[in-house]
Amino acid sequence: MVRSPVRISFAGGGTDLPSYYEKHGGCVVSTAINRYSYSVIQKRRDSKIQVISSDLRISETWEDLAGMDLSRTSLEIPLAVLKEMGCGGLAFDMFMSSEIPPGTGLGSSASVCVNVIKALSTYLRRPMSKYSQAELAFHIARNVLKKSVGKQDEYASTFGGLNRIEFFCDGSTKVTPIQIEYELMREFESRLMLFFTGSSHDSWRILKEQETVTRNQEPAATSALHRIRDLAGEVNCALEQSDIHRVGELLHHGWEAKRKLSAHITSSQIDDLYRLARRSGAIGGKITGAGGGGFLLLYCEQKHQSAVREAFAREGVAEMSFMFDRQGSSVVVDDPFIDGDERCGMRWTYYSKRSLQFHHQRAQ
């Protein structure tokens, strides 16, 4: 079994879009968290590939990958990966499951794509570097599926950990782990809170709008993105200097800058929740992802967290607990990828049933 994490971003979101970094260079500070996409592969004895998604509650069986139209399937991500990795002529079952639904701003679509790539490269015994894995996932989303996406999600999911991710004008990317002491990392982790605002969002539309204004070099949007990129550097410095309180303040500055990019970044509900959080003791925060909905990330010292939870509970807003992920995309069970091993089918069935049961319970 392979799993790949989603992420939360502290600063720099939007500067990972090609329309910006190809002109100015971009920078993001983010961390992967312990909410994952999963894939399990089992060999078949016929000539078909079957993909089962517990999230979408569908399965599709394909024999002629070359003739498959990406626009005619709900499983466009795994199909695109299968095509790009030349899986025509192979035969296996692939089971997929995710802990985070799409449209919540945590990079779940990228996590799924990264995870399918890792699962297939492991099953096919084609080792890939982390950079190659992240770039292939970005290529599939951007060029194959024609989504207006940036690069940060694919890199965060692939590498794991707390990182400064730089995007250069020539298209290259550099991931630099941020080195802070373990105890400080745990303290920083404990001061972060995630609340689901109750609505998913169409990030593709928001990102497409941002790309348009960036390409047109509209002064207000460009100036805001410059500030967002600079804030990523400031967050990085604050972490390396062990000033995690400063990170909370910078989150607030970043939120103010991001609001200038699009009218769809926030909503009256999100604004009300953010003001409520600040009144209750949170220092700063931001909406995750492109904006418009999803999760609200807050920096709040522990002595004020009960007040924030109680205030949000009265509004019917649920919290999601999490921890940082340090592994990134990785194989956590080797047996399902060993041809002929009887335990393969047993483990595949076990994980399939367990995940389907989890998702059924969550949907109730």
Q: Is the sign of the CA dihedral 201, 203, 204, 207 positive or negative?
A: positive
Tell me: pLDDT of 361 over 70: no
**pLDDT digits 0-9 by tens, 75-119:** 999 999 999 999 999 999 999 999 998 878 899 999 999 999 999
Tell me: pLDDT of 201 over 70: no
| pLDDT above 70: percentage of residues in the chain | 85
**pLDDT digits 0-9 by tens, 267-309:** 888 899 999 999 999 999 998 865 567 899 999 999 999 999 9
Mean pLDDT of all residues in 337-351: 36
Residues 6+ apart with CB under 8 A from 290: 13, 14, 105, 201, 203, 206, 207, 210, 265
Could you give the CA distance from residue 82 to residue 294 in angstroms, rounded to a whole number? 29
Q: What are the domain boundaries of the chain?
A: 2-319
- Which CATH number describes the domain made up of 2-319? 3.30.230.120
The pTM (predicted TM-score) of the whole model is 0.88
Could you give the CA distance from residue 36 to residue 96 in angstroms, rounded to a whole number? 11
Mean pLDDT of all residues in 2-9: 97
Please report which confidence band the pLDDT of residue 205 belongs to, taking 50, 70 and 90 as the band edges.
low
pLDDT of residue 164: 98
**pLDDT digits 0-9 by tens, 108-124:** 999 999 999 999 999 99
